[in-house]
Amino acid sequence: MIRFLQTPGPIKKIVLGGMLTVICILMVITLVPGFGSTDFFGSGTPARGVVATVGGEDVTTLEVQREARQMLQQQFPQGGAQASALLPFFASRAAETLIQQKVVLAEARRIGLHASDEEVRDEIQHNPQYAGAFFVDGNFVGQAKYEEILQQHDLTVPQFEQLVRDEILFTKLRELVSGGAIVSDAEIEQEFLKKNSKVKFDYAVLRKDDVMKDIHPAEAELQAYYNLHKANYANSIPEKRKISYVLIDTARLQAQTPVTDQELQTYYDRHRDEFRSPDQVDVRQILIKTPLPGSGKVDPKATDGARKKAEDVLKQLKAGGKFEDLAKKYSEDPSASNGGSIGWINHGGFPVPEVDKAAFSLPKGGTSDVINAGYAFVILHIDDKQSAHVKTLEEVKGQIEPSIKQQKAAQVADSEASNLVSQARSEGLEKAASAKGLQVVNTDFVSRTDSLPGIGNSPQFMDAVFGAADKSPADEVQLPQGFAVFQVGQIKPPATPTFEEIRSRVEDDFKNERSATLLTQKTRELADRAKAEHDLKKAAKEVGATVKTSDLVLPDGQVPDIGSMSGPAAVAFTLKPGEASGPINNGNTGIVLTVVEKEQPGPQELAAKKDELRESLLQTKENDLFEMFVSNAREEMQKSRKIQVNQEELKSLGGPQGQEGE
């Protein structure tokens, strides 16, 4: 299954597309507080190799490992050691997700839902996601071809059809549970007003920096502050070390490394498959978008209008119109500005099979008819074509030669570093480097965060240096630029500074703490005065605050000195005109505001957005209902011990499951 998920192609898109809703909702559900705390023991504990049983069905260790690797690969496509270190966490999430999937399907079956063979066949035949791969011009590709396509992706027919069956079950259950969700007109109006009402206000601003200017602590106050917070400064002078090192630069070696014709030929022969070029077309397109469905329905008149527009463009092309000019004038794709050019596309690279088929059936210089791509009507023009072939050595020599040089230089650098370490341990780094014509860099005391000549800021190098024991022999560390052979000299351990050594830092800390306290106090005083006097400007003048006036702003707007209106300043939308807020503290500013004007959208604006809002609120309600249903179903299965989790097996996967249930 992992190979299937990592392999591009139509079947991957089919299954992933079909199960996407299932997986997304299950992932949301597994993040609900309380999930992930299964703790069931007793005689029913699953056998070795089984992480859990849910309603009598096993979640195997192998399934969890595959799911975890897939999650990891999706999150960290480049992989690497750091990503691999997170595999135990992903194993934990994978186990939870698979258990949750089993719960949903078990509950669907419990209440009598099922998916018949006829329904599975009907889904594969009529769902566009499936039909595009298994049906050509409405005709089934045949059982042998059907099995062959699935086998290419490590899927048997029963496995694939079970995926489709599970999808049907999930959809039936979700429709049954969420079918009772309704959204009233009052709810729509309330949500619309909440998101679209505007407010204008005066606001008085106190700044922490201004407050800080008036703070002038005495020496005794600073000394007392230092003594009180001495623990905060303990060992704040970091450990420092004197080091000597030699950098063996791979780039220098690479520049000196020759590459023979035989090496080029050998590399080419071993990597010939990498130089295969697939069928490609250099293509232009004119794209006329179809309307998005409103309230779950597509407007046929609007769709017909888009088709007619595309057909009119095609008529202009057939009458001699230049494709690039018409693309710039009519196309609704970003490529319009470039005359419709979308560049070279590989066979299978178009998201819609019908478009891909048309593109590769056209000759060079050919223009297609109008193609219905579902989301748009498309007209293609082929500027150039290239058949699949293996590039010659001469064509790829420029990309092969640097790779060979890099490999050879890396091997030489590794060998030089190992020899230098061996010699330095017996003769000393200075003598060993001198014998090889290499320069030794000797530093003064440096900390972990310092930048070094030739190396820069390198946590990798500093981890090795500061991880070495006192008086340890020379050692090497691999860096992006090559290898560094180093030896540690003197070590100055971390220390707690005296008051005199960090007086300026103590003063900054004192002022920061005091100004934060004073800002809070002054903002509270400002709010109290504004409310008592019913005059924000007068109150601001009395406490030394600056008064500004906002524009009319929406709940998701931004205001200078305040920032997002979705934060504490959202209180403005609950106030009446002339009413002052309480203190609003944003860390570096203290704000008090008084509403000047409120503006609500009119009924025409509501009417224009009503269907969209109803759909959004309905979807939220449906998700909430389904989430609650699955939560309750799982809770009942846990109480009746229909979920059994093998804690030992989970621990063997490395996930933090030992704490579950606490």
CATH of the domain at 314: 3.10.50.40
The domain boundary, picked from 362, 387, 412, lies at: 387
Residue 569, token pair as written in the block: 């300043």
Closest of 76, 71, 75 to residue 91, by C-alpha:
71
Q: What is the mean pLDDT of residues 207-212?
A: 94
DSSP-assigned beta bridge partners for residue 2: none
Cα separation, 328 vs 297, whole angstroms: 31
pLDDT at position 83 is: 60
Alpha carbon distance 263, 137 (integer Å): 51
Mean pLDDT across the stretch 211-225?
Answer: 95
pLDDT at residue 520 is higher than 90: yes
Percent of the chain surpassing pLDDT 90? 52
What tens digit of pLDDT does each residue of 352-404 get? 888 999 999 999 999 999 999 888 899 999 999 988 888 888 888 888 888 88
Q: How sure is the predictor about 490, in pLDDT bands with cuts at 50, 70 and 90?
A: very high
Are residues 133 and 63 located together in one domain of the fold? yes
pLDDT of residue 656: 42
Angle subtended by helix axes 157-178 and 10-30, to nearest 10: 40
Six-digit token string for 634: 């799982």
Please answer whether residues 59 and 651 qualify as being in contact, where contact means their C-beta atoms are separated by less than 8 angstroms: no
Residue 497 lies in a domain: no
Q: Which two tokens stand for residue 393?
A: 């050595």
DSSP 445: S
Residue 41 has pLDDT above 50, yes or no: no
pLDDT digits (tens, 9 = 90+) for 556-589: 999 999 999 999 999 999 999 999 999 999 889 9
User: Do β-strands 280-289 and 376-386 pair in parallel, antiparallel, or remain unpaired?
Assistant: antiparallel
Domain termination site, one of 366, 387, 408: 387
Instruction: Round the CA-based radius of gyration of the chain to a whole number and report it.
Output: 34
**Biggest CA-to-CA distance, the chain:** 92
- Kindly state the average pLDDT of the residues 126-140: 78
Q: In the prediction, which pLDDT does 293 show?
A: 58
SS3 state of residue 62: helix
Q: Residue 657 — very low, low, confident or very high, per pLDDT cuts 50/70/90?
A: very low
Q: For residue 272, is it within any domain?
A: no
Helix (H) or strand (E) holding 289: strand 280-289
At residue 481 the predicted structure's pLDDT band, cuts being 50, 70 and 90, is confident
Token pair, residue 414, equals: 């590794």
45: pLDDT strictly greater than 60 = no
Do 229 and 255 belong to one domain? no
- Per the DSSP assignment, residues forming a β-bridge with 60 are 50
Q: Domain for residue 191, yes or no? A: no
- Choice between 44 and 33, residue whose per-residue pLDDT is larger: 44
Shared domain check, 536 and 466? no
Q: Is residue 43 domain-shared with residue 175, that is, in the same domain?
A: yes
CA dihedral sign of residues 446, 451, 456, 461: positive
Same domain? For 244 and 208 the reply is no
Nearest CA among 112, 49, 59, 54 for reference residue 641: 54
Categorize the per-residue pLDDT at 515 as very low, low, confident or very high, splitting at 50, 70 and 90: very high
Q: Do 420 and 471 fall within a single domain?
A: yes
Is residue 540 domain-shared with residue 652, that is, in the same domain? Answer: no
pLDDT tens digits along 608-644 = 888 989 999 999 999 999 989 988 998 999 899 898 8
Q: How far apart are CA 342 and CA 334, in angstroms?
A: 9
List CB contacts of 237: < 8 A, sequence separation 6 or more.
494, 495, 496, 497, 501
pLDDT for the residue numbered 23: 44
Residues 520 and 595 in one domain: yes
| DSSP string of 501-518, one letter each residue | TTHHHHHHHHHHHHHHHH
Among residues 356, 387, 418, the one where a domain terminates is 387
Give the pLDDT confidence score for residue 652 in this predicted structure.
78
Considering the domain boundaries, does residue 583 fall inside one?
Answer: yes
Mean pLDDT, the chain, rounded, equals 86
Worst-scoring range by mean pLDDT, 37-46, 147-156, 209-218, 534-543? 37-46
- Res 138: pLDDT: 75
* Mean pLDDT, rounded, for 152-180: 86
9 and 66 share one domain: yes
Non-local (6+) Cβ contacts of 207 within 8 A are 588, 589, 590
Residue 483 scores a pLDDT above 50? yes
611/597 Cα distance (integer angstroms): 29
Per cent of the chain over pLDDT 70 is 89
Q: Which domain holds residue 474?
A: 240-260+396-492
Is residue 150 one of the residues assigned to a domain?
A: yes
**Is the domain of 413 the same as that of 468?**
yes
Model pLDDT, residue 143: 87
Instruction: Kindly tell me if the per-residue pLDDT of 102 is higher than 60.
Output: yes
The pair of structure tokens assigned to 521 is 């106090």
Report yes or no on whether pTM surpasses 0.85: no
pLDDT band at 291 (very low <50, low <70, confident <90, very high): confident
CA separation for the pair 638, 619 (Å, rounded) = 28
- CA–CA distance, 349 with 502 (Å, rounded to integer): 62
Who wins on pLDDT, 119 or 155? 119
Among 41-45, 134-138, 407-411, 440-444, where is mean pLDDT lowest?
41-45
pLDDT, greater one: 22 or 84: 84
DSSP letter for 390, please.
E
* Distance separating alpha carbons of residues 662 and 660, to the nearest angstrom: 5
* Pair (168, 292) in one structural domain: no
> 179-193, 397-411, 534-548: which has the highest mean pLDDT?
534-548
Into how many domains does the chain fold? 4
> Does 618 reside within a domain?
no
Whether residues 19 and 164 fall in one domain: yes
616 within domain boundaries = no
Q: Which residue has the higher pLDDT, 662 or 544?
A: 544
Give pLDDT, residue 662: 30
- CA distance readout (Å), 342 to 328, 560, 601, 636: 13, 42, 42, 54
Helix, strand, coil tally for the chain in percent (to 5): 55, 20, 30
In Å, how far are 37, 88, 486, 658, 659 from 662, measured between CA atoms? 8, 20, 48, 9, 6
Q: Which two tokens stand for residue 90?
A: 């992903």
Q: Is 189 a domain residue?
A: no
Assign residue 138 the CATH number of its domain: 1.10.4030
Where b means 16+ CB within 10 Å and e means fewer, 145-182 reads: ebeebbeebebeeeebbebbbbbbbbbbbbeebbeebe
Task: For residue 404, give the H/E element and its range.
Answer: helix 393-427
